[in-house]
Amino acid sequence: MGLQQKIGYISLVIIFSLAMAAAIEAAQPPFACNSSNPSTKKLTFCSTELPIKQRAEDLVSRLTLDEKVSQLVNDAPAIPRLGIPAYQWWSESLHGVADAGLGVSFEGTIHAATSFPQVILTAASFDAHLWYRIGQAIGKEARAVYNQGQAQGMTFWAPNINIFRDPRWGRGQETPGEDPLVTGRYGVSYVRGVQGDSFEGGGKLVNEGHLQASACCKHMTAYDLDRWDNITRYIFDAQVTPQDLADTYQPPFRSCIEEGRASGIMCAYNRVNGVPNCANYNLLTKTAREKWGFYGYITSDCDAVSIIYDDQGYAKDPEDAVVDVLKAGMDLNCGSYLKNHTKSAVQQKKLPEAEIDRALHNLFSIRMRLGLFNGNPSQFVFSSIGPSQVCSKEHQSLALEAAQNGIVLLKNDANLLPLPCRRTTPISLAVIGPNANSSQTLLGNYHGPPCTSISLLHALESYVTSPLRYHPGCNGVACSSALINDAVNIANEAEYVVLIMGLDQSQEREDHDRVDLVLPGKQKNLIIAVARAAKKPVVLVLVCGGPLDVSFAEDDDNIGSILWVGYPGEAGGVALAQIIFGDHNPGGRLPITWYPKDFIKVPMTDMRMRSDPYSGYPGRTYRFYQGKKVFEFGHGISYSTYSYSFIAVSLNEFHLTSMTAMKVSENSDSTRYVLAPEKGSKFCERMKFLAIIGVKNHGVMAGKHPVLLFVRREKVTHGSPMKQLVGFQALSLKAGERAEIEFLLSPCEHLSRADEHGVLVMEIGTHFLVVGDQEYPINVVA
C-alpha cells in the first residue's frame, strides 16, 4: 500500500467508523415512559418510586377493551397514545441467546452469541455452579442484545425442564436428563443466572424482582412426547398417576419456581388426565401461583390455545377455549387465538373483563421488572451491559469448559485414550464418519449464530502435524448407503482411527421422536468394518442427544474407546480434541439411562414411571427401570480412577414418631410409613443432617469429578425407587489428591417418595446412603 492509498484508506476507515457510531447510537432499545416526552412521563405507571403492583394497575385501568385484547398475544402492538412501544414476548435462549424466537435479531452490531453445549451435555457435568455461570452469561448477552436495540423483548422461553422420560423423545436433548433432582437444580441455576439473581439469602426477591432478562420454566407439565406413531403433542392425553406427578413430573417445576424464582412458566400442548395444561386451573393457579408462590406470567406454548378447540375438541367453541385458559390462570397466548376470540367472549358474557385485567397485570409487571417502563433505559441497573460482553473471551471459555466437563467417556479398554501423541509428534490419524465435518450439527436445536464455528474434524486436524485422512463413510447421517471400502482403505493406512458417528436433527428434533434406538442406516456396518480393518482398536465418538443402543460396540474388542459428546456447542470440537489427546481429563457422567433397543416395545405413550411386574412393563429411568441397560445413569469413566469413603454422617437413626407424633400406616405389602412433613417446615429444617464424604483421585492427571450421592432402601417395595439421587457435587482434584465434601440432606425431601395419592411419605426401615461402592445405613424407626 502506497502512502497516498494509505491516507485514503485511513480516512475511509474514519468515515466508516463515524457512520458506524451514528448507527449504533441510533439503534436505541424500545422503552416506555420516555422522560423527554412531556405527555407520557407524568403517567402514574411511569413513576418508578411506586410499587410495580400499583403501576401495573394504573396502566391496565387506562386501556380500552380493544387495547387490552391486543396485549394478550406474543406479538403485542404499541399503544402510541400512552407511549408504550410494541413488545415481542417470544425469544429463545436454551443454551445461548438464539434467534429461534421472534424477539431477537442478529442483524446489527451483534451478529452472534455464545453457543453453549446443548443442555443434555451440560447436565452431564453435574455441576450446578457451572450451570449458574452459563445462565449468567446468557442473561448478560441477552441484555446486551436489548441494549443494542436488537431485541423487541426480554422474555426468554427457557429452560426446558421436562423429565427425559422416554429415550426416543426428539426434544430430550434440550433437557437436563431423567432425574428430577438434577432437572430441578439445573432449572434453579439457569434461571437465577439469567434473571440476575435479585435475591436475598432467604430467597426473597429484592428490588421488586428486577430482571436482567426473564426466564421461563417450560413446558408444564408431563410433556415429553412430540410426534410418535402418529400421535402428536397436540392431541396427546397423557395419563399420569398422582404418584408420578408428585415425585417425578412436578418437582423440577416446583424448584424452578420456589427456589429459582422464575418469572415465567409455559403451559404445554398436551392434556394431562383429560385436561389441557393451559386450561388447568388446578395446575396454573392452585399449584403454581398459590402453593408455590409463583410471581410472573404464564404463556401458552405456540398455538396451544387454538388446539383446545381445533384439535382436542375440549372446548365447544373458540370463546370457550379462551375462557378456559384465562380462567385457569394463563396470561399470554403465543399465537393469535386470544386476539381473535377474546372480545367476542366478553361480548357473549362468557368472560368477565376482570380475567383479562388479571392477565395484563401479570404481563405489564414483567415488562416493568425488566426496566422497560423506567424512562430512558440508561437509568436501569443493567443498562451498562454492552456488545463487548457478547462472545467475550470469558463466555467463550465458559462454553469450552462446559463441553470439556460434559463429554462422557463410556469405554476405554487398555487405556487406548488419551492417544499417546501430541501436536509435536507426527502421528497418522484417520477420521471417519458423517458427523465429523459439520459444525452446525454441534449446535443442536434452538441456537443462534455461534461466536466461532469449528467442526470436530477441523479441531482434531489442528492437533496433529501430519495431514489427517478423512472420509465421511456414509452419504449422510441417515446413512442409507455406506462407502465401506473407501473408509476401510483409509483406516488401513492410519495408525489411529477416530469414527465420528451418531445422530443429528434429521433423526431427533422437535416434532419428531425416534422410532428406534439404534444407529441410523448402515452406520453400524461401517463402524464394525472399519474397526476390524484398523491397525489398532478404534475410538468411537457418538454425537447425539438421546441415547443409542451401542452394545455391539461395547462388546467389540476392536473398538477401544467410546465417547459421548452430545451436541457440544461451538467449542465442542476443541474440547473433544483436548480429551482425545490428553489435554483434558474427561469427567462427565450420563444424565440418562441408555436402554437396549428392545425397549421400544414399550409404547412411548405410557407415562408410568413405576414398573408393573404383572404386565411386564419395565418402568422408566434408573429409579424404576428393571431391565438390562446399555449404560447406566451416572456412568462415565475418566483417565483417573476415584475412590470414596464415608467420613461422617451426623445422624444414624431417626425416631420419627417421637419427633412428629405421627401415625404409622401400613401398606398392603406391609411397608410401614408416615406422612413426610412439608419440605421447608420447621421440623424438616431441624432434621437436616450432614454426610461427609472423602474422595481421592488415584490417577496421574488432575480431574474434575462429579460425586453422585444416592439413597436406596433395604427393601424395595412397590412404589419406592430402587435408588434415588439425593445430592451431587463436582470436585476438582489434582493427581493423587484427596478431599472431603459435605452434603446437607433433608430427610423430608431426600428420604421420601410419593404414595399412590401423590402424598409424600417416609418409609420405616433401613435406608442406605450410596456413593460408588460405599454404603452407609440410616435407620428410620417408629
Ligand X SMILES: *[C@@H]1O[C@H](CO)[C@@H](O)[C@H](O)[C@H]1NC(C)=O
Between 456 and 733, whose beta carbon lies closer to ligand X?
456
Residue located via cell numbers 479441531: 459
Does 475 bind ligand X (CB under 6 A)? Our answer is no
User: Judged by CB under 6 A, which stretch of 99-107, 334-342, 484-492, 670-678 contacts ligand X?
Assistant: 334-342
Between 467 and 736, whose beta carbon lies closer to ligand X?
467
Does 470 bind ligand X (CB under 6 A)? Our answer is yes
- Considering only residues 4, 5, 36, 388, which one is a binding residue for ligand X as defined by CB under 6 A? 36
Between 36 and 424, whose beta carbon lies closer to ligand X?
36
User: Judged by CB under 6 A, which stretch of 29-37, 123-131, 200-208, 489-497 contacts ligand X?
Assistant: 29-37
- From residue 737, give the alpha-carbon distance in Å to each of 235, 404, 648: 55, 21, 19
Between 337 and 654, whose beta carbon lies closer to ligand X?
337
Does 492 bind ligand X (CB under 6 A)? Our answer is no
Does 37 bind ligand X (CB under 6 A)? Our answer is yes
Between 470 and 639, whose beta carbon lies closer to ligand X?
470
Does 340 bind ligand X (CB under 6 A)? Our answer is yes
Residue located via cell numbers 439503534: 27
Between 182 and 322, whose beta carbon lies closer to ligand X?
322
Nearest CA to 105 out of 149, 45, 70 is that of: 149
Distance of closest approach, residue 505 Cβ to ligand X, in angstroms: 16
Report the Cα–Cα distance between both ends of the chain, in Å, rounded: 89
Class of residue 702 by CB neighbours under 10 A (exposed 0-12, middle 13-18, buried 19+): middle
Distance of closest approach, residue 306 Cβ to ligand X, in angstroms: 4
Distance of closest approach, residue 130 Cβ to ligand X, in angstroms: 31
Dihedrals φ, ψ of 694, to 5°? -90, 140
Does 66 bind ligand X (CB under 6 A)? Our answer is no
- Could you count the other beta carbons within 10 Å of the beta carbon of residue 422? 14
Reading the block at residue 128, the C-alpha cell is 450446578
Between 446 and 470, whose beta carbon lies closer to ligand X?
470
**Going residue by residue from 258 to 277, which x/- string records binding to ligand X, judged by CB under 6 A?**
--------------------
Regarding beta strands 496-502 and 538-543, do their DSSP bridges make them parallel or antiparallel, or are they unpaired?
parallel
**Going residue by residue from 423 to 442, which x/- string records binding to ligand X, judged by CB under 6 A?**
--------------x-----
Q: Which of residues 496-525 bind ligand X (CB under 6 A)?
A: none
Nearest CA to 186 out of 205, 158, 225, 210 is that of: 158
Distance of closest approach, residue 31 Cβ to ligand X, in angstroms: 6
Reading the block at residue 582, the C-alpha cell is 490428553
Does 229 bind ligand X (CB under 6 A)? Our answer is yes
Does 486 bind ligand X (CB under 6 A)? Our answer is no
- Considering only residues 45, 292, 337, 633, which one is a binding residue for ligand X as defined by CB under 6 A? 337
Does 344 bind ligand X (CB under 6 A)? Our answer is no
Distance of closest approach, residue 470 Cβ to ligand X, in angstroms: 5
Class of residue 596 by CB neighbours under 10 A (exposed 0-12, middle 13-18, buried 19+): middle
Residue located via cell numbers 413513576: 47
What is the rounded CA–CA span in Å between residue 241 and residue 291? 20
Between 27 and 478, whose beta carbon lies closer to ligand X?
27
Does 4 bind ligand X (CB under 6 A)? Our answer is no
3-state SS track over 231-278: EECCCCEECCCHHHHHHHHCHHHHHHHHCCCCCEEEECCCEECCEEHH
H or E, element range at 483 = none
Dihedral of alpha carbons 40, 43, 45, 50, sign: positive
Total residues interacting with ligand X, rule: CB under 6 A: 14
What is the rounded CA–CA span in Å between residue 546 and residue 592? 8
Between 174 and 461, whose beta carbon lies closer to ligand X?
461
| 301 labelled catalytic | yes
Distance of closest approach, residue 604 Cβ to ligand X, in angstroms: 12
- Considering only residues 34, 105, 657, 667, which one is a binding residue for ligand X as defined by CB under 6 A? 34
Residue nearest ligand X (C-beta atom): 34
User: Which listed residue (99, 127, 226, 301) is catalytic?
Assistant: 301
**Going residue by residue from 293 to 332, which x/- string records binding to ligand X, judged by CB under 6 A?**
-------------x--------------------------
What is the rounded CA–CA span in Å between residue 460 and residue 409? 17
- CA-based angle 713:714:720, to the nearest 5? 40
DSSP string for 420-465: S--TTS---EEEESTTTT-TTGGG-SS----S----HHHHHHTT-S
What is the rounded CA–CA span in Å between residue 578 and residue 538? 17
Distance of closest approach, residue 462 Cβ to ligand X, in angstroms: 13
Cis before 219 (ω within 30) = yes
Contacts with ligand X by CB under 6 A lie at 28, 31, 34, 36-37, 229-230, 306, 335-337, 340, 437, 470
Active site residues: 301
